Amino acid sequence: MKRYEVLKTSEFDAWLTIQQPKIRTLVTARLDLLSVGHFGDHKRFEGLIELRWKNGTRVYTFMWSNAIVVALNGGNKNAQTKDIKKAVKIRNEILEGSRSVQK
Protein backbone atom coordinates (compact mmCIF):
# COMPACT_ATOMS: atom_id res chain seq x y z
CA MET A 1 0.00 0.00 0.00
CA LYS A 2 1.33 3.41 -0.94
CA ARG A 3 1.87 5.80 1.95
CA TYR A 4 1.84 9.58 1.69
CA GLU A 5 3.37 12.18 3.94
CA VAL A 6 0.86 14.95 4.69
CA LEU A 7 2.35 18.42 5.11
CA LYS A 8 0.45 21.59 6.03
CA THR A 9 0.76 25.29 5.37
CA SER A 10 0.41 27.90 8.10
CA GLU A 11 -2.80 29.08 6.37
CA PHE A 12 -4.27 25.60 6.67
CA ASP A 13 -3.32 25.34 10.36
CA ALA A 14 -4.84 28.78 11.06
CA TRP A 15 -8.06 27.83 9.24
CA LEU A 16 -8.32 24.51 11.08
CA THR A 17 -7.79 26.18 14.46
CA ILE A 18 -10.89 28.38 14.10
CA GLN A 19 -13.22 25.55 13.01
CA GLN A 20 -15.79 23.93 15.26
CA PRO A 21 -14.48 20.82 17.07
CA LYS A 22 -16.58 18.50 14.89
CA ILE A 23 -15.13 19.98 11.67
CA ARG A 24 -11.58 19.79 13.09
CA THR A 25 -12.14 16.12 13.91
CA LEU A 26 -13.55 15.32 10.45
CA VAL A 27 -10.72 17.10 8.63
CA THR A 28 -7.99 15.59 10.80
CA ALA A 29 -9.42 12.10 10.31
CA ARG A 30 -9.54 12.66 6.55
CA LEU A 31 -5.89 13.77 6.47
CA ASP A 32 -5.01 10.59 8.37
CA LEU A 33 -6.81 8.58 5.67
CA LEU A 34 -4.90 10.50 2.99
CA SER A 35 -1.65 9.25 4.49
CA VAL A 36 -2.65 5.70 3.52
CA GLY A 37 -3.86 6.71 0.07
CA HIS A 38 -7.61 7.00 0.70
CA PHE A 39 -8.79 10.35 -0.67
CA GLY A 40 -12.54 9.85 -0.23
CA ASP A 41 -14.89 12.32 -1.95
CA HIS A 42 -12.60 14.59 -3.95
CA LYS A 43 -12.24 16.42 -7.23
CA ARG A 44 -9.02 17.12 -9.15
CA PHE A 45 -8.62 20.29 -11.23
CA GLU A 46 -6.03 23.00 -11.97
CA GLY A 47 -3.36 20.88 -10.27
CA LEU A 48 -5.35 20.85 -7.02
CA ILE A 49 -7.22 18.16 -5.15
CA GLU A 50 -10.39 19.42 -3.47
CA LEU A 51 -11.43 17.23 -0.54
CA ARG A 52 -15.19 17.54 -0.10
CA TRP A 53 -17.67 16.89 2.69
CA LYS A 54 -21.46 16.85 2.46
CA ASN A 55 -21.72 19.79 4.91
CA GLY A 56 -19.92 22.04 2.38
CA THR A 57 -16.46 21.96 3.98
CA ARG A 58 -13.61 22.00 1.47
CA VAL A 59 -9.87 21.43 1.92
CA TYR A 60 -7.48 22.14 -0.94
CA THR A 61 -4.37 20.02 -1.37
CA PHE A 62 -1.93 19.06 -4.08
CA MET A 63 0.47 16.22 -4.77
CA TRP A 64 4.09 17.25 -4.40
CA SER A 65 6.45 14.62 -5.81
CA ASN A 66 5.26 11.02 -5.60
CA ALA A 67 4.63 10.75 -1.91
CA ILE A 68 3.70 14.11 -0.38
CA VAL A 69 0.27 15.69 -0.06
CA VAL A 70 0.25 19.34 1.01
CA ALA A 71 -2.85 20.76 2.71
CA LEU A 72 -2.98 24.34 1.41
CA ASN A 73 -6.08 25.88 2.93
CA GLY A 74 -9.70 25.20 3.72
CA GLY A 75 -13.08 26.78 3.36
CA ASN A 76 -16.63 26.01 2.42
CA LYS A 77 -18.81 25.79 -0.66
CA ASN A 78 -19.91 29.44 -0.33
CA ALA A 79 -16.39 30.86 -0.72
CA GLN A 80 -15.14 28.20 -3.12
CA THR A 81 -13.92 30.49 -5.94
CA LYS A 82 -11.90 32.69 -3.57
CA ASP A 83 -10.52 29.67 -1.71
CA ILE A 84 -9.40 28.00 -4.96
CA LYS A 85 -7.55 31.15 -6.09
CA LYS A 86 -5.81 31.32 -2.72
CA ALA A 87 -4.87 27.61 -2.89
CA VAL A 88 -3.39 28.00 -6.39
CA LYS A 89 -1.33 31.01 -5.23
CA ILE A 90 -0.01 29.12 -2.18
CA ARG A 91 0.80 26.03 -4.29
CA ASN A 92 2.74 28.14 -6.79
CA GLU A 93 4.73 29.77 -3.97
CA ILE A 94 5.60 26.33 -2.56
CA LEU A 95 6.74 25.09 -5.98
CA GLU A 96 8.84 28.26 -6.48
CA GLY A 97 10.45 27.69 -3.07
CA SER A 98 9.26 30.99 -1.56
CA ARG A 99 6.94 29.34 0.99
CA SER A 100 7.57 26.60 3.51
CA VAL A 101 5.38 23.80 4.82
CA GLN A 102 5.45 21.72 8.01
CA LYS A 103 4.25 18.34 9.26
- Per-residue pLDDT, 49: 92
Evaluate if residue 89 carries a pLDDT over 80. Answer: yes
**Which pLDDT band holds residue 18 (cuts at 50, 70, 90)?**
very high
Give the residue-averaged pLDDT of 29-53: 92
| Contact present, 59 and 30 (Cβ < 8 Å) | yes
What are the extents of the domains in the chain? 5-96
Predicted TM-score (pTM) of the model is: 0.88
Query: How confident is the prediction for the chain on average, in pLDDT?
Result: 90
Evaluate if residue 100 carries a pLDDT over 90. Answer: no
3 burial via Cβ count (<10 Å: 0-12, 13-18, 19+):
exposed
Q: Is CATH 3.30.2310.20 the right assignment for the domain spanning 5-96?
A: yes
- Per-residue pLDDT, 64: 86
| Contact present, 49 and 63 (Cβ < 8 Å) | yes
- Per-residue pLDDT, 14: 93
